[in-house]
Chains A and B, each alone.
Chain A
Amino acid sequence: MKTRNENEIQVISFRVGSLLIGLELTDVQEINRHCDFARVPNSPKGVRGVINLRGEVVTMIDLAMLLNQQTDSCVNTKLHNVFVKYESELIGLITNGVSDSMTIHRDSIDALPSNLDIDEANFFTGVHRLPDGKLMVLLDLNQLLTNVLEIGSVA
């Protein structure tokens, strides 16, 4: 087995609307395609509902909604749920399809462009240019999920 370089990280990439987003593989617990969400009355913005993940009731976060992306995720057959841990709780992120897993060099991660919306910029740590020229933004998981919590407590 290839020993991983300190300067390299493994990420999975997935689409949310028009965005290509990268998430560190070590954060990912599981990926599945459940889509029978149970809605929760008065839930904060960005919470789509809950699902039954082998007996555990898991909160599902709608990334498209949080990131202001247009998406028809209800009918999208490529829908993937990416499950992550947040303060020892399992949480699902709804994406429009996981596309790849790759190893990227830390040096190849650029700072975020300054013209990005300040709210959205909070959720990302940087940008990575893929070999085919596409841009992938790297998700700041904790920032994102904490933000959802804060929206909830304001509402």
Chain B
Amino acid sequence: MFVNDPELVSEFITESSEALADIENQLLEIEAGGADIDSDLVNTVFRGIHSIKGLAGFLELKAINELAHNLEDVLNKVRNLQLVPTSQIVDVMLRAADELRALSVSPEESNAADVSQHVTALQAILAGDTQDSGGVVEQAASDSQKIEDAIISQVDQLSELAQEESDSGSKPKHLEPESLSSSPVPVAKPQAESDNVAGPKQAERSPKEAKEKASGVEANIRVPVSTLDHLMNLAGELVLNRNRLVQFCGSNGDNELTTLSSDIDQITCELQEAIMQTRMQPIATAFNRFPRIVRDLSSKLGKQCNLVVEGRDVEVDKSIIEAIGDPLTHLIRNSIDHGIEMPDVRVANRKVAAGTLRLAAYHMAGQVCIDIQDDGGGISPDKIKQKAVDNGIITDRQAAEMSTREALRLIFHAGFSTAEKLTDVSGRGVGMDVVRNNIEQIGGTVDVESEVGQGTTIRIVLPLTLAIIRSLIIGDQDARFAIPQVNVAELVRVSGKDREERIQCINDAVVLRLRDELIPLVDLDQIIQTAAPLSLTSNAGLAEGLACFQPPGSESESESESEAEAEAEAEAGAEAEDVLIDQAELAVSAKREAQGISIVILETGRSRYGIIVNELFDSQEIVVKPLGVHLKQCKSVAGATILGDGQVALILDAAGIAEEANLSGLDEDLVDDQIALDSESGDEVRLLIFRNAPNEQFAIPMELVSRIERIATSAIERHGSRSVVQYCGRTLSLFAVEEILSAQPRETSRFVSVVIVSLGGKELGIIAPCIGDICDIHVEVDTESLTEAGVIGSAVIQSTVTRILDVAVICKQGSPESGPGGVRGNAMANGPGSLQEVAANAGANLKQRRPRVLVVEDSKFFRKQIVRTLKGANYETREAADGLEALQILEGDAGSFDLMLTDIEMPNMNGFELCQRVRQMEQFKSLPIVALTSLSSEEDLQRGRDCGVDEYQVKLDADALFEAIRRLIPE
């Protein structure tokens, strides 16, 4: 049976035509050599035929396979000096090669072809039957006569054709390519003619075959990549010139010229896209070899493994496809060898005997992700740490302080092999560090996630193309730089007044306090200063660099920025004075000071650090240009690009800068100590604080916040009573605090900050005119004093009474179309204490016995909230701070719970594991489990379901929670 995969088939055609391209000359050369065998040459031919045989065998192309096989055998004999290639033998081989070529052009029909004649001839040679080959020669002679005839008739036809062409008045130039493109016909035709001897059936097919061959040549042209690169370059230039043209026309206003330029504009865009497209190939080209590898390898190891491939159609640059083949193969071998367990082990662990290996490619934020996910035994962080300590990669102390994630990343460390014993499958001295290096070389990153007993996911993030990458453009004085987006983790702006608090020095190292992490900082000025010995600017050190920042340049972007700057200035101006700088500079510095500092947090596989930049521009697609040979030594730059205005911007190499700044030592020791000092956090809740009016402070639980955006007030549209804003191509509902609560209206300003919260996969924005801090606090929430819908309660934070917003209620108010829940949400908004009311109603619906609910939640804040609402609704509750505690309670108090509510992210034992353990206990097989989460990806949800979660609920959405509880607790 013929495998009907067009992708594979076209690859087969390409590969076989490559192998056969020069076979005539090669065979003829072999013939000329006679007994003096050029073994290199014979080997080349042999390998070509061998690979055709292999491919044909794989695709079940029997005729091609058989023919190639026999041809290979003959070549093998020649190679081993068992056969002297006489001209008769070469003759037979030539004809066999011709047939092979004809067949491999249209493999779909090749199985119907009769190759017996060639096979017999080849086998006769193998048998050393020279007598018979005489017959073959005769045959060959008569064939060649026929070929001659055929060519003559073809030429006649062609000249007739040519006559017609010139008669019909077309340009004579046109004739040449026409007749050239037909030239394959005479080659194929004689083949068909000689087949004619074999059988009439063959003759019927042959003209078609010949035609297809001709068309096959026309449909695909192999073009050197350098030509495409050149085209790409030219297109890039065209874009620049188009930009200038459009600008010029815009200022001159000539109508016709403007039309013309916009046409050129459009054509240029399309041209660039088309050229980009020429370099793109579906990733299936790289994936196609894996089913076979997985099959062979798993059977070799006695394992069972199913390969699931997703996203074959994702297109990436050809050079990337070439580059990822080997790393992917290695990762897949690794997954099967070390990841997937033996079938009996799997069964013993309550898994299906056959493991699943998922290979998925998908687009994410302008990049391509490839996941290699297995459901095997997972990687034990402790084992990794132990091994790393044994191998001297880390110290005991480091191991003790290392997080799980960091520990897992150790597998990418050089000289690290996780296999308990070296196997011939993946323990071949090619470690994961080579994989990482290969991937980083093409501008990608690789990361690992794993859970013991659950499996491992390796995620590779790759740029779409090597030639064009998405980059963040940053500015420094007069120069601009591009940072590949793949390295950018986040952007942080430290306002003037927070500077001293958030940017600190440990010895000589400058660090930024970001949430509970300390991140080493590098000043871009300093990186560049060392580079420009001739520069006239002073060689400002980091301390000075921090103190005086250049005002934004004169670019158009800075207009809106300086507007925003002015606001911040007014607010922070007072604080700026206590900075130690020269009196003379004070006035200027105070102004600069107030603007705050922009920091780009960069992440490479090995390090995480921040770069202080003066200006941030937008993120754009840039065309990567190589740097000259004289600049190969510069580790901190990876290349250059040309921006829209013709200026050159250098592309910063995140790993190189880290290396130059010698950052790797810094973040390990010093920073870890500092973190250890800082993180005595236990039972805290993290809140985002903001003010609406000067004396009214609000807070949102950070767990629900996904992003904070700054938007222009003019971009806010009002539809009826609702405010929306266009955001990332979607419509985002916006709420002002005063619209929901009794609060003073915010002051009007041109820009507002919007806190984007995500709740159960939905996003909404809360306008927060003045964002304060994010703080971890022990809060005693007072739910009595300030009660209204949309507020969980109040607390004193930073000596100000702060109302903590109930995002779930706000969310419902904003979307009345979202069903009954929304209606109730509106009803709730009408009266104070309605949350409890609804809860009580829900409770009243239940029968007399008070149902018992086990609440597992690590945050005391949330736990108290949930318990309070449950109690209010007549439920009996018990609390547990993590999975382990919950298990203990369950074991000691078996059978008495009607439902378990659990968080997912918890210390000691997380929700997934808890559910699994609970489900393994006989008496809790049917205990309803509701998971509370802010994770909302389908993957997470599915994972929970697999672990035994009955239902998912969003934290703090009381109504939906009660609905679920009522549904799940049997009456």
- Mark A residues whose CB is within 8 Å of B: 36, 38-45, 47-52, 54-59, 61-62, 65, 74, 86-87, 89, 91, 145, 148-149, 152-153, 155
Contacts and interface: CB of A to CB of B under 8 A. Distances in A.
Contacts of A65: 533-534
B628 A42 contact: no
- Which of B630, B631, B641 has the most chain A CB within a 10 Å cutoff? B630
Contacts of B530: 41-42
Contacts of A39: 479, 528, 531-532, 535
Contact of B631 (A36, A43, A87): A43
Given A50-B640, A50-B648, A40 B631 contact: yes
7 contacts: A41-B527, A42-B636, A47-B630, A57-B625, A59-B628, A65-B534, A91-B630
Contacts of B637: 40-42
Interface range for B: 35 or more
Given A54-B237, A55-B237, A57-B640, A42 B634 contact: yes
B88 interface: no
B87 to A, nearest CB: 45
Interface in B489-545: 527-528, 530-536
Interface string B458-492: 00000000000000000000011000000000000
Given A61-B630, A149-B630, A43 B625 contact: no
B631 A47 contact: yes
A91 B627 CA distance: 11
Given A39-B479, A40-B637, A52-B648, A59 B535 contact: no
Contacts of B632: 152
Given A50-B640, A50-B650, A59 B633 contact: no
Contact of A41 (B237, B628, B636, B641): B636
Contacts of B640: 38, 50, 57
B627 A57 contact: yes
A45 B530 CA distance: 11
Interface of B: 233-234, 236-237, 240, 479-480, 527-528, 530-536, 625-637, 640-642, 646-650, 660
Nearest to A48: B534
A40 B630 CA distance: 11
A123 B276 CA distance: 44
Given A40-B627, A43-B634, A57 B648 contact: yes
Contacts of A51: 648
A54 B627 CA distance: 15
Given A50-B640, A52-B647, A43 B534 contact: no
A102 to B, nearest CB: 29
Given A38-B479, A40-B637, A41-B531, A52 B628 contact: no
Contact of A43 (B237, B479, B531, B626): B531
B638 to A, nearest CB: 11
B647 A42 contact: no
Contacts of A41: 527-528, 530-531, 634, 636-637, 650
A33 to B, nearest CB: 15
Contact of B240 (A50, A55, A74, A86): A55
A50 B631 contact: yes
Contact of A42 (B237, B625, B635): B635
Given A55-B642, A57-B627, A65-B534, A38 B634 contact: no
A85 to B, nearest CB: 12
B650 A40 contact: yes
Contacts of A44: 630-631, 633
A22 to B, nearest CB: 23
A62 B534 CA distance: 9
Contact of B628 (A38, A45, A62, A91): A91
Contacts of A55: 233-234, 236-237, 240, 625, 642
B630 A145 contact: yes
Nearest to A38: B648
B631 A155 contact: no
A145 B630 CA distance: 8
Contacts of A48: 534
A39 B628 CA distance: 13
Contacts of B233: 55-56
A54 B110 CA distance: 51
Contacts of A91: 628, 630
B633 A155 contact: yes
A34 B537 CA distance: 21
A57 B630 contact: no
Contacts of A42: 527, 530-531, 633-637, 660
A107 to B, nearest CB: 35
B625 A56 contact: yes
Contact of B646 (A43, A47, A52, A155): A52
A40 B629 contact: no
A16 B563 CA distance: 46
- Which of B528, B628, B629, B642 has the most chain A CB within a 10 Å cutoff? B628
B228 to A, nearest CB: 15
A152 B633 contact: yes
Nearest to A155: B633
Contacts of B634: 40-43
A58 B631 CA distance: 10
A152 B660 contact: no
Contacts of B633: 42-44, 152-153, 155
Contacts of B240: 55
B647 A36 contact: yes
A43 B630 contact: yes
A41 B534 CA distance: 12
A49 B647 CA distance: 12
Contacts of A50: 627-628, 631, 640, 648, 650
B647 A38 contact: yes
- Which of A52, A62, A74 has the most chain B CB within a 10 Å cutoff? A52
Nearest to B643: A52
B211 to A, nearest CB: 43
| 4 A-B pairs closest in CB distance | A59-B628, A41-B531, A38-B648, A55-B237
Nearest to A71: B534
A103 B535 CA distance: 37
A5 B628 CA distance: 36
Contacts of B650: 38, 40-41, 50
Nearest to A65: B534
Contacts of A153: 633
Contact of A89 (B480, B528, B629): B629
A45 B533 contact: yes
A145 B634 CA distance: 17
Given A40-B627, A59-B631, 12 more contacts: A38-B640, A40-B637, A40-B650, A41-B637, A42-B530, A42-B637, A43-B531, A44-B633, A49-B532, A51-B648, A74-B536, A148-B630
Contacts of A62: 534
Contacts of B234: 55
Contacts of A47: 630-631
B811 to A, nearest CB: 47
A85 B480 CA distance: 27
Nearest to B235: A55
Nearest to B632: A152
A145 B236 CA distance: 29
